[in-house]
Amino acid sequence: MVAEIIAIGSELLSPYRIDTNSLELTEKLMEMGIRVGGKCVVGDNEEDISRAIRTAASRAQLIIITGGLGPTNDDKTREGISKALKLNLIFKKEIHNQIIEKYRQMKRNAEPPDNLARMAFVPEGAEIIENNVGAAPGLWIEMKEGELYILSLPGPPQEWRPMFEVVREKLSSFGNHFFSRRSLRIAGLREAEVEEKISPIYTGVKNPSVTILSSAEDIQIQIWGKAKEKQEAERLAEEMKESFLNVLEDNVYSLKDEPLEKVVGELLRKKEKTLAVAESCTGGLLSHRITNVPKSSDYFLFSGVVYSNEAKIKVLGVNEKDIKEHGAVSEEIATQMAEGVRKTAGADFGIGITGIAGPGGGTKEKPVGLVYISLSWEGGAETKRFRFPGTRLQVKTYATSHALNMLRKRLL
Amino acid sequence: MVAEIIAIGSELLSPYRIDTNSLELTEKLMEMGIRVGGKCVVGDNEEDISRAIRTAASRAQLIIITGGLGPTNDDKTREGISKALKLNLIFKKEIHNQIIEKYRQMKRNAEPPDNLARMAFVPEGAEIIENNVGAAPGLWIEMKEGELYILSLPGPPQEWRPMFEVVREKLSSFGNHFFSRRSLRIAGLREAEVEEKISPIYTGVKNPSVTILSSAEDIQIQIWGKAKEKQEAERLAEEMKESFLNVLEDNVYSLKDEPLEKVVGELLRKKEKTLAVAESCTGGLLSHRITNVPKSSDYFLFSGVVYSNEAKIKVLGVNEKDIKEHGAVSEEIATQMAEGVRKTAGADFGIGITGIAGPGGGTKEKPVGLVYISLSWEGGAETKRFRFPGTRLQVKTYATSHALNMLRKRLL
């Protein structure tokens, strides 16, 4: 089955907002074996909505519409559906009563405005999907003896997500295939290195399909297995995942879509170890990422963002002479920062990062993107030299991911 | 004139990628007085592309297509245009030669593959737009005696941006109106407070149009003035901007779409002052934001991310007894952190932040979202209590913006 997604709202045609509902819906549909064949955005205009629905109906068997179901005159989805599919809008008294009742509950008995009545007009033959979060109910319509289905949902995710669950079983029965997804998150390798390792496995293979998403933060591989039987789809995806794991080994840090900082945090917690970090070029991004994980205070003690040499010397005990001799961006200083912050904070592990994030400040010997990362522990240390590409933010992000990954490998 | 944007590429129908080209194109078109009436995404399929173009042509006078112009068999935009508009594809020898020539230059005389020839097929009557960054040329087509224009561009922004400039003049002449934009960025006020101040000015006003975008980082107001004459559009937007400035006063931190950390950084640089910060609940996000600005090392000295009480005491000299008496999340500790870090780093200003970012760790007296922010300077200090809503990341973001704003107001 092919689906089409229509997002309704003039604000989605401005330069400031984007339809992200369709991404989440696409993933849900794919898992049910329903392919999204197209998507579009139209404004709050009855004629435009109607035309979009008619076009979609000419090529898709399932149309999912988000937005435009509210009570104001700008909310034209009901009218658009009615016009496109030649279904009369019928006023449903019992739905009006429910809407009023809910309004009174939510607004502490305030007088409901007249325009709520608009939401009680329903295309004939449509089933109502109750909205337990917001006011506007959703719609489910079956047409052409099961050749066309329309699902109309409100725009806000917190409203449509639970409403989608109501029709999940129906939708699941439409998929002619089962899809099964596996995801691998990889740190410490470049995209070309990942490609080199896995391309002999998946080149020429159409099922499962493989998508590689590369960013400064990490590399993600998405595997989708497809089959008539659920078990077969699972097997296909699982086998490809295992083959990838064989060559990528412990560079795979998560099979559960977790961020690296969460994986590292769980390792620290499990091993009852603590961490302190000293950041120069990453400027606080490493500690920001670490502390995005709830309860990270259990294992994260301190970060010194030591932009100035004085701070490096005073807070971390870095040797002033060594800064003069080797420069602040050097293996020696990274190592001293890692050890200094570990001792200062009384932590089990210390990380030190120093480099040139750019865009200015690079020289021939020490170009933009040059970063030294050091990991220190009781009785040992490891310091690596990197050269990262990209913008200031990308260099910061690459450096933090590699630092977290060095710690992860040590903890394994 | 109404435009429609079509993004082509099956990858844009996956859950992992989104068409962001259309946002940038929309802004450029709006500035020329061209309204975007709809947009859609279709896969690399000739029939789907053709249908999308036909549908767009039925309601728009300008169709902008991005993607699908490359040399592979998946690149079907040329065929889709040809089919939708009944224009034959004609092989242009001189374009083929140019493409081959460019390929040889870029790939150091490697043998050009046969499929480059695909890019030399041009719908009859189309003008070629040269691509100086990538391989695929763009297309400009005028149809129906000036009733319909098609602009077909490659997908990557670095390729289409300069190509768009080639047709800018033509497009500018199409807009029946001029649009003029003003933007205000606001810190230190809640959305409801901004609304209360400005709604008497713009309620009921259709031109200029006003959009308010609220996030944990800041509140942005976009004003678009529209008129037949450029000067009049400018005047309308400028007057509304001035009226807003009158009531929002120095809560407006930028009229130039700059982030708050850049504005604060420029003030510090201008006044030759330095800054050090001590972060607890914001976990490094404040220093990350400050150091996202290139050359921030000129004024930013140090941040201590003091998650543990030991670090607060040892690095910042916070009084242990006061932590026991008032708790780490308190006015007293925020103030001591700000002063402590200022003295430790030898900076002109110190900021201290302590709070409960959640989702756990809240109590009745000290709920999630409670944050104390203190600003310290030689001879004075100011400490404020906040209660921020939202997720862990939102609380972190709100706190950093309010901290930067306290410093900004002090510097003014």
Average pLDDT, chain A: 94
pLDDT over 90, % of chain B? 81
Q: Position B22: which residue type? A: S
Provide the pLDDT for residue B187.
Answer: 96
pLDDT over 70, % of chain B? 100
Which chain B residues are within 8 Å of A58, Cβ to Cβ? 51
Residue B26: which of A13, A294, A304 has the nearest Cβ?
Answer: A13
Minimal-distance CA residue of chain B relative to A315 = B315
Query: Where do we find the tokens 């980082």?
Result: B217
Helix runs in B136-278, H state only: 157-174, 191-202, 230-248, 260-271
Burial (CB < 10 A; 0-12, 13-18, 19+), residue B67, is buried
What angle (nearest 5°) sits at the alpha carbon of residue B255, between those of residues B251 and B256?
135
The model's confidence at residue B230, banded by pLDDT at 50, 70 and 90, is confident
Minimal-distance CA residue of chain B relative to A397 = B288
Q: Is A292–B213 a contact, with Cβ atoms under 8 angstroms apart?
A: no
In angstroms, the CA B41 to CA B8 distance is 6
Helix runs in A17-74, H state only: 21-31, 46-57
Residue B37: which of A14, A43, A344 has the nearest Cβ?
Answer: A43
What is each CA distance from A117 to A75, A114, A137, A154, in whole angstroms? 12, 6, 12, 16
Candidates A26, A34, A76, A303, partner chain B, best to mutate (most B CBs within 10 A): A303
- Residue ranges of domains in chain B, CATH in brackets: 2-174 (3.40.980.10), 178-254 (3.30.70.2860), 260-411 (3.90.950.20)
In angstroms, the CA A337 to CA A353 distance is 8
Question: Which residues make Cβ contacts (< 8 Å) with residue A75, sequence separation at least 6?
Answer: A44, A68, A69, A118, A136
Provide the pLDDT for residue A324.
Answer: 96
Which chain A residues are within 8 Å of B48, Cβ to Cβ? 37-38, 59
In tens, the pLDDT along B41-60 reads 999 999 999 999 999 999 89
B238 against A209, higher pLDDT? B238
In tens, the pLDDT along A41-55 reads 999 999 999 999 999
Average pLDDT, chain B: 94
Provide the pLDDT for residue B68.
Answer: 94
Length reported for chain A: 412
The model's confidence at residue B135, banded by pLDDT at 50, 70 and 90, is confident
Residue A288: which of B211, B284, B304 has the nearest Cβ?
Answer: B284
Task: Report the run of H or E that residue B294 belongs to, with start and end.
Answer: none
Candidates A13, A18, A42, partner chain B, best to mutate (most B CBs within 10 A): A13
Does residue A179 contact residue A34 with C-beta atoms inside 8 Å? Answer: no
Question: Which residues make Cβ contacts (< 8 Å) with residue B182, sequence separation at least 6?
Answer: B208, B222, B223, B225, B237, B238, B240, B241, B255
A112, pLDDT greater than 90:
no
Task: Report the run of H or E that residue B128 belongs to, with start and end.
Answer: strand B127-129
Q: Is A13–B288 a contact, with Cβ atoms under 8 angstroms apart?
A: no
Does residue B371 contact residue B333 with C-beta atoms inside 8 Å? Answer: no
Provide the pLDDT for residue B173.
Answer: 86
Average pLDDT over residues A246-260: 97
Residue B288: which of A18, A36, A283 has the nearest Cβ?
Answer: A283
Tell which residue, B11, B148, B33, has the closest CA to residue B20: B11
Candidates B34, B221, B291, partner chain A, best to mutate (most A CBs within 10 A): B291
Helix (H, G, I), strand (E, B) or coil at A412: coil
Tell which residue, B180, B175, B174, has the closest CA to residue B226: B180
Average pLDDT over residues A323-352: 96
Provide the pLDDT for residue B349.
Answer: 98
In tens, the pLDDT along B147-181 reads 899 999 999 999 999 999 999 999 988 877 888 99
Which chain B residues are within 8 Å of A48, Cβ to Cβ? 37-38, 59
Q: How far is A92 from chain B (nearest CA, A)?
A: 32
In tens, the pLDDT along B257-295 reads 999 999 999 999 999 999 999 999 999 999 999 999 999
Q: Is B291–A283 a contact, with Cβ atoms under 8 angstroms apart?
A: yes
In tens, the pLDDT along B379-402 reads 999 999 999 999 999 999 999 999
What angle (nearest 5°) sits at the alpha carbon of residue B256, between those of residues B255 and B259?
100
Does residue A41 contact residue B5 with C-beta atoms inside 8 Å? Answer: no
Q: Is A284–B304 a contact, with Cβ atoms under 8 angstroms apart?
A: no
In tens, the pLDDT along B71-116 reads 888 899 999 999 999 999 999 999 999 988 888 887 777 788 888 8
Provide the pLDDT for residue A216.
Answer: 92
Provide the pLDDT for residue B194.
Answer: 93
Q: How far is A397 from chain B (nearest CA, A)?
A: 11
Tell which residue, B339, B331, B1, B363, has the closest CA to residue B172: B1
A59, pLDDT greater than 90:
no
What is each CA distance from A80 to A62, A74, A89, A380, in whole angstroms? 16, 12, 10, 69
Provide the pLDDT for residue A176.
Answer: 77
Residue B285: which of A14, A27, A288 has the nearest Cβ?
Answer: A288
What is each CA distance from A172 to A31, B32, B231, in whole angstroms? 9, 46, 57
B212, pLDDT greater than 90:
no
Provide the pLDDT for residue B219.
Answer: 94
φ, ψ at A87 (rounded to 5°): -115, 125
Q: In what order do the strands lie in the sheet with B178-186?
A: B209-214, B219-227, B178-186, B252-254
In angstroms, the CA B239 to CA B241 distance is 5
The model's confidence at residue A177, banded by pLDDT at 50, 70 and 90, is confident
The model's confidence at residue A178, banded by pLDDT at 50, 70 and 90, is confident
Does residue B8 contact residue B136 with C-beta atoms inside 8 Å? Answer: no
Provide the pLDDT for residue B398.
Answer: 97
Question: Which residues make Cβ contacts (< 8 Å) with residue A379, sequence separation at least 6?
Answer: none
Q: Is A290–B297 a contact, with Cβ atoms under 8 angstroms apart?
A: no
Minimal-distance CA residue of chain B relative to A300 = B307
Does residue A302 contact residue A276 with C-beta atoms inside 8 Å? Answer: yes
Provide the pLDDT for residue B318.
Answer: 95
Residue B303: which of A11, A284, A314 has the nearest Cβ?
Answer: A284
Which chain A residues are within 8 Å of B27, Cβ to Cβ? 15
Q: Is B345–A392 a contact, with Cβ atoms under 8 angstroms apart?
A: no
The model's confidence at residue A175, banded by pLDDT at 50, 70 and 90, is confident
Beta bridge partners of A277: A303, A351
What is the predicted ipTM? 0.87
Q: Is B291–A284 a contact, with Cβ atoms under 8 angstroms apart?
A: yes
In angstroms, the CA A269 to CA A34 distance is 41
Hey, what are A67's tokens?
Answer: 């937005």
A146 against B35, higher pLDDT? B35
Tell which residue, B8, B123, B116, has the closest CA to residue B70: B116
Minimal-distance CA residue of chain A relative to B400 = A288
The model's confidence at residue A72, banded by pLDDT at 50, 70 and 90, is confident
In tens, the pLDDT along B9-25 reads 988 998 988 999 999 99
Sign of CA dihedral B259, B261, B262, B264: positive
A and B: number of Cβ contacts within 8 A: 199
Torsion of CA A396, A401, A406, A411, to 10 degrees: 140
What is each CA distance from B359 to A103, A159, A302, in whole angstroms? 29, 22, 21
The model's confidence at residue A213, banded by pLDDT at 50, 70 and 90, is confident
Provide the pLDDT for residue B33.
Answer: 87
